[in-house]
Amino acid sequence: MSPRFTLDPFIEQYAHRTSSMLSSEIRDLLAVTARPDIISLAGGLPFTQAFDPEVILRSVRRVLADDYAAALQYGPTDGFAPLKHNLVEVMREEGTSCFPEDIMITNGAQQGLEMIAKTFINPGDHIIVEAPSYVGALNSFLSYQPRIHTVPMDEHGLLPERLRELLRELTAHGEQVKFIYTIPNFQNPAGITLSTERRLQLIEAARDYDCLIVEDNPYGLLRFEGTACPTLRSLAEERVIYLGTLSKIFSAGMRIGWIAAPHPILNKLLLAKQSADLCTSSFTQRVAHIYFSEEDWRGQVQRLLDIYRARCHAMLGSMDEHLSGLAEWTRPQGGFFLWAFLPQFIKTSEMLASAIEMKVAYVPGSGFFPYEGGENCMRLNYSYADNEMAEEGIKRLAKVIKREVSLAKALGLDKKGSSLSIRLDNG
């Protein structure tokens, strides 16, 4: 037996919170989806091959030529000051006002989520998330043992009336919500964008019930269709903790994200970062600074948009051709993902093994809920596989679904429910 699967002799020594730490289904799939014979519609990888390597090399050479010793040294915990000015420009591109002193640079937005959880959550505290929600955020939150409440979504984002109903119920029981976590633009995993009207309603509810909003915005600049909505920070700066990242528009491997927040909150988060890693890499921060100062980063974002638009359309076209009547799905206007609903008697986590046999992979929907839900759903990624691979992947997936539906009908399992729904809480 492999040592990985032996009984753990240290189980009594671990902190109680480790029982809430869950492995990401997406990360668990990576070993399988890395196989060259598998068409992966599972991961959330940006298409880094769209970058000219010479552009990156220019930035690296410039960093080493300017001050290699500083680039190889520790840096300030809150981040490299010149890069903060670049991040202000990135936020301004989406119509969001910010100052460098409002920003703390993190090791990706994921570290920001972890620090927010560490700073705000006591065991038993109440927080609210969308259903479904980003699995990395859920895992960060769950490790600090809160009570996570979910608000369902439709094609326009989270349902404000359900949010108010939940806040009203918790308040009536004397409970205070610490924060509401949302990915308002091209949400991971659903691909849904929160409408401007609902953004205003969300802010109004947060003010009425005195809770913070955590705005996770990794995909905001990746809109390839439709009209942009204002960021929540631009609408309510005093109540929003904003998370940004360069992973989707530059490099995921350089691990650069940031938090913009009211200064009292930023000061607390700074203490959390000091104890976590002292500072984000001085070298990668400087490379990013040179890139965003001297290269045509806006033009590169546009090139990415052209690629993602074509890949999204290719996947949607293949789904229209091969999955009509078998599933329903969201139609994103940007970002990386769409969300598909199968008949309720199909369990996508159980179906995954059959999909792998057919050399195609997706992420089962249940991993995007804190407790239960999404069992008949799946997340599909269109940012990485090219048009031909995405179309072939959907063909293979359609064969798997048809086989599962036929088997379920033969066993009479379809009598348990066969309806499809555009509502994202149908799990």
Residue 127 lies in a domain: yes
Q: What integer pLDDT is reported at residue 15 of this predicted model?
A: 78
pTM strictly above 0.75? yes
CB-based contacts of 19: which residues, under 8 Å, 6+ apart? none
Of 294, 319, 334, which residue sits at a domain end? 294
Of 250, 267, 294, which residue sits at a domain end? 294
Average pLDDT on 281-300 reads 98
Measure the CA–CA gap between 156 and 197, rounded to whole angstroms: 9
Q: Residue 35 — pLDDT band, cuts 50, 70, 90?
A: confident
Query: What integer best gives the mean pLDDT of the chain?
Result: 93
Q: Do residues 246 and 101 share a domain?
A: yes
Q: What integer pLDDT is reported at residue 398 of this predicted model?
A: 97
pLDDT digits (tens, 9 = 90+) for 43-77: 889 999 999 999 999 999 999 999 999 999 999 99
Residue 357 lies in a domain: yes
Lowest mean pLDDT among 2-11, 28-37, 189-198: 2-11
Q: Residue 23 — pLDDT band, cuts 50, 70, 90?
A: low
Contact between 249 and 242 under an 8 Å Cβ cutoff? The reply is no
In 3D space, the residue among 251, 284, 245, 282 whose CA is nearest the CA of residue 60 turns out to be: 284
Gyration radius of the chain's alpha carbons: 22
pLDDT exceeds 70 at position 6: no
Q: Do residues 111 and 230 share a domain?
A: yes
Q: Do residues 253 and 132 share a domain?
A: yes
Adjacency order of strands within the sheet including 147-154: 103-106, 257-260, 240-245, 212-216, 177-182, 126-131, 147-154, 157-158
Contact between 104 and 80 under an 8 Å Cβ cutoff? The reply is no
Q: Residue 419 — pLDDT band, cuts 50, 70, 90?
A: very low
pLDDT exceeds 90 at position 83: yes
- Check which CATH number belongs to the domain holding 390 and give it: 3.90.1150.10
Measure the CA–CA gap between 405 and 418, rounded to whole angstroms: 10
Q: What integer pLDDT is reported at residue 275 of this predicted model?
A: 95
Q: Residue 14 — pLDDT band, cuts 50, 70, 90?
A: confident
Q: What integer pLDDT is reported at residue 290 of this predicted model?
A: 98
Residue 31 to residues 3, 25, 329: CA-CA distances in angstroms?
A: 18, 11, 27
Residue 3 lies in a domain: no
Average pLDDT on 84-110 reads 98
Contact between 81 and 100 under an 8 Å Cβ cutoff? The reply is yes
Residue 94 lies in a domain: yes
Average pLDDT on 362-367 reads 95
Residue 122 lies in a domain: yes
pLDDT exceeds 50 at position 422: no
Q: What integer pLDDT is reported at residue 55 of this predicted model?
A: 95
Q: Do residues 344 and 253 share a domain?
A: no
Average pLDDT on 7-26 reads 70
Q: Residue 3 — pLDDT band, cuts 50, 70, 90?
A: very low
Residue 58 lies in a domain: no
Q: Residue 31 — pLDDT band, cuts 50, 70, 90?
A: low
Answer with the residue of higher pLDDT: 410 or 168. Answer: 168
Q: Do residues 260 and 142 share a domain?
A: yes
Q: Do residues 260 and 321 share a domain?
A: no
**269-291 burial, b for 16+ CB within 10 Å, e for fewer?**
bbebbeeeeebbbbbbbbbbbbb
Structural domain boundaries enclosing 355: 10-50+299-416
**pLDDT above 90 as % of the chain:** 86
Q: Is the peptide bond before 189 cis (omega within 30 degrees of 0)?
A: yes
Residue 427 lies in a domain: no
pLDDT digits (tens, 9 = 90+) for 236-277: 999 999 999 999 999 999 999 999 999 999 999 999 999 999
Q: What integer pLDDT is reported at residue 236 of this predicted model?
A: 98
- Residues 345/350/355/357 CA torsion (nearest 10 deg): -130
Residue 366 lies in a domain: yes
Q: Do residues 126 and 252 share a domain?
A: yes
pLDDT digits (tens, 9 = 90+) for 366-407: 999 999 999 999 999 999 999 999 999 999 999 999 999 999
Q: Do residues 110 and 243 share a domain?
A: yes
